[in-house]
Amino acid sequence: MTRARRPLVAAAVVAAVLGLAAGEAAAQGFERPPLPRITPTPHSDLPPIATEPQQRRRRHMPGGAATPFFTLPDGATPFTPQMGGPPALMPTMPGLPGSPGLPPQFADRTAVALDARYRQGGQYVRDGLHWRIFSDTPEASGAFALVAESRDAAPVFALRPGNYIMHVAFGTFAQTKRLRIGTEPYRESIVMNAGAVRLVGKVGESQIRNARLSFDIFAGGLFDGGEPRLVLRQAPAGDLIALPEGTYHVVSIYGDANATIRADLRIRAGQVTDATIQHRAANVSLKLVQQREGGEAIGNAAWTVLTPGGDVIKESIGAFPSMVLQEGEYLAIARHEGRVFNKRFTVEAGKDQNIEVVAR
């Protein structure tokens, strides 16, 4: 059985189908001719969970060298216990084609029952699965015909005897296996070796609204070396994200300016990791006013927010631009009708504020 972990997209399915290794074990002892080799999948070489290396060398990650970094505590907890057998399986498997287990129109077919576990001997996966069954013989165009698919936790397919390619996707993880179906009922249980993570963000004790927060997830930790491999971009906050077991680097992005935090975390097979990212930032609104603070607002100003070193953080046009800024010192510059006005200000974590720039 070959594991191929990758995002659930059509291109990934075709790549997984074409990339079955010649040494893969076939169901029920089926022997098949060699298939062409392809480049290893993005997750085929995830670093194992191991002790820290003697020399820790920090690799470049998106977000810049000054972005705060920390390692999240290992807070994985087991999935909620599931009692009983695999979900939604047929109570009894039909013994012969055309038996009462399958409708009469499928008299020439065999029942094929599939299910998945988070780990060997672990709990069954209850949702989030996408099963596809392909013909193992490519068409004239080179594509493999899709024979059947299902999003059930444990589907039962009615297939004619023959050879097939089974592909199952679970979040960013996928597996592919060849099946040889005869006249006897067939059952296959796939071991996903996967866990999940739920990411949220806070400023102080206040939780950040999920709509303003997203996460980029990379394979491997910050000090693992090598180039970072993007697993999932802009993952939504609060969602349960399925990932293969291993170490990951998370870049948490709050707003659309410079409020970014990075962290390493571990994913364990059969467990959910709830991770809270603590941001040190605040919401800032800018306003250009006439003559004095509290004066009448001036619209249609062009704004630029800079660091003390002159780095541009955010540019905007409007009367009341609003943005999330990481704590620190900034310079706000407003341009209106050929004139330039500015003001220095300081951002403290969790303290939202309105900054007025006076046009004198």
d(CA 101, CA 209): 49
β-pair type (301-306, 312-318)? antiparallel
Residue 95 burial (CB count, 10 A): 12
The angle subtended at Cα 133 by Cα 98 and Cα 114, nearest 5°, is 65
Phi/psi of residue 29, nearest 5 degrees: 75, 20
**Among candidate residues 172, 169, 150, 152, the one with its CA nearest the CA of residue 241:** 172
Q: What is the pLDDT of residues 120-168, one digit of tens each?
A: 888 888 888 999 999 999 999 989 999 999 999 999 999 999 999 999 9
Q: What is the pLDDT of residues 65-113, one digit of tens each?
A: 345 555 554 544 444 433 344 444 443 444 434 333 566 767 789 999 9
Domain boundaries, the chain: 2-44+111-191, 69-77+198-278, 281-359
Is this model's pTM higher than 0.95 or not?
Answer: no
In the predicted model, what is the mean pLDDT of residues 252-274?
A: 92
**Among candidate residues 18, 43, 37, the one with its CA nearest the CA of residue 165:** 18
pLDDT at 305 over 90: yes
d(CA 273, CA 250): 13
d(CA 318, CA 321): 6
CATH of domain 281-359: 2.60.40.1120
- The architecture that CATH gives domain 69-77+198-278 is Sandwich (2.60)
Highest mean pLDDT among 49-53, 122-126, 196-200, 291-295: 196-200
d(CA 357, CA 303): 11
Report the topology of domain 2-44+111-191.
Immunoglobulin-like (2.60.40)
Q: Do domains 69-77+198-278 and 281-359 have the same CATH topology?
A: yes
Q: Report the Cα 78 to chain-centroid distance in Å.
A: 20
SS3 state of residue 18: helix
Q: What is the pLDDT of residue 272?
A: 87
Share of the chain above pLDDT 70, in %: 71
In the predicted model, what is the mean pLDDT of residues 262-286?
A: 92
